[in-house]
Amino acid sequence: MPKALQCIEFGPPEKLSLAEVPPLPLGAGEVRIAVKAAALNFADTLIIEGKYQEKPPFPFVPGMECAGIITERGEGVRHLAVGQRVMALSAKGAFREETVVEAGAVLPIPDGMDFATAAGFPVAYGTSHLALTDRARLQAGETLLVLGASGGVGLTAVEIGKALGARVIAAASSPEKLDVARAHGADEGIDYSAEDLKGRLKELAPKGVDVVFDPVGGDYFDAALRNIAWCGRIITIGYAAGRIPQVPANLLLVKNCAVLGLFWGAYRKHDPRRLGQSLGELLNLWSQGKLRPHVSHALPLSDHARAFGLLSGRQATGKVVLTIG
C-alpha cells in the first residue's frame, strides 16, 4: 500500500505520522497520480495546527500541491494521458506517494520543468498573480512593495510585479534574503530586521507605494498602510508575523486607499475558469523566461519535520519541497 503523511490530531508537524494507507478510489473525471514531489505552503502549517479557515476531519493527509505521473484515468477524462507528467492541486492531500485528483485541477508540466519546481508552482505563483492582477490591478510604472519578499509567495510576487512593469521594493528580514529578492528582479531592498520600514519607505517612495503585497501582517502591515499612496491598494493574504492587523478606517478615508483580501483557494469554488486562465498565463510567462521558480530545499518525505521547521522558522527562501518515490 502507498504511504502518506497523516494528521490524527492538531499540533506541531512532529505529530504527523508516515503510514501505509489504502489506495484512494478513482471516480469519474479524476486521475490517479504517482507523486514525485509535493510542496509545502504556510497554510499547511496552519491546517495541521488547527488554525486554518477550514478544518478537515481526522485522519487527513495535508498538502495542497504536487507533481507526478498519471497512472490511471477515470471515466470521461480525455485531455490527459496515462504516463503524462503533471502538476496538480490536491484536495485529498498531496503528501502521499499516490493521490487522486479532479482532472480539472491538473496541468501538464512543460518540457524543461522538473518535478520539484512543478510541485511548488501553482499555489505561490497563482496567489501572487491573482492578487496583483485581479485584486490590486497593478499597472506598469507603479511602485509595488512586497513584504516577506524572499518567501514562497513573496518571491513570486517580486517576479510577477516586474513582469507587469512595476518598480518593486522588496522587504525581508536579512541581507541574504534581500539578495535572493534582487536576483529575482527587485529594484530596491529593505532589511526590516535592521532598518525602520516606515522611514525607509519614505526615502524610497516619498509619495507612497501604489500597491502592497502582504503575506506577513502585524506591525509590517501597519507601517505599509502609513506609507500607502493616494488611491493605493494593500493586498492582505496571510499573517506570518502572528498578529492579524486592525485597519483604522479613517486612514482609508484620508488616503482614498483600499485594503483587499485574497483567498486563492476559494477560486476553485467560486471562479475555477479564472483560476485556470491565471495558471495558463503564468506558464506562458515561465516559457518566456520571465519567471524563475526558486526551490531552496528538497527533502525526502520521511524528513517532513525538518521541512516544516525550515518553513516555520523562516530559514527557507522560495519553496520547500518533499521528494517522493
The structural domains of the chain, with segments of one domain joined by +, span 3-121+293-323, 125-265
Which residue's entry shows cell 541581507?
A: 175
Phi-psi region of 236 (alpha: psi -120 to 50; beta: other; left: phi over 0): beta
The one-letter amino acid at 16:
L
* Positive/negative CA dihedral, 134, 120, 276, 113: positive
User: Residue 282's closest CA among 62, 129, 152?
Assistant: 129
Q: How far is CA 226 from CA 61, 152, 193, 209, 223, in A?
A: 41, 25, 19, 10, 5
Can you tell me the distance from the alpha carbon of 289 to that of 210, in angstroms, rounded to the nearest whole number? 26
Helix axes 122-130, 152-163, angle to 10 degrees: 50
Note every long-range contact of 279-284, with CB atoms under 8 Å and residues 24 or more positions apart, other chains counting: 279/107, 279/122, 279/125, 279/126, 281/129, 282/121, 282/125, 282/126, 282/129, 283/107, 283/110
CB atoms within 10 A of CB 43: 20
CATH for the stretch 125-265: 3.40.50.720
pTM here?
0.94
Could you please report the per-residue DSSP string of 166-197? -EEEEEESSHHHHHHHHHTT-SEEEETTTS-H
Kind of pairing between the strands at 30-39 and 319-323 = antiparallel
Is the CATH code 3.90.180.10 the one for domain 3-121+293-323? yes
Task: pLDDT tens for the chain, 325 residues: list them.
Answer: 999 999 999 999 999 999 999 999 999 999 999 999 999 999 999 999 998 888 899 999 999 999 999 999 999 999 999 999 999 999 889 999 999 999 999 999 999 999 999 999 999 999 999 999 999 999 999 999 999 999 999 999 999 999 999 999 999 999 999 999 999 999 999 999 999 999 999 999 999 999 999 999 999 999 999 999 999 999 999 998 889 999 999 999 999 999 999 999 899 889 999 999 999 999 999 999 999 999 999 999 999 999 999 998 888 999 999 999 7
- Look up residue 284 and give its three cell numbers: 506562458
Contact 169, 205 (CB under 8 A): yes
Residue 303's contacts (CB-CB under 8 Å, 6 or more residues apart) are: 322
Q: Do domains 3-121+293-323 and 125-265 have the same CATH topology?
A: no
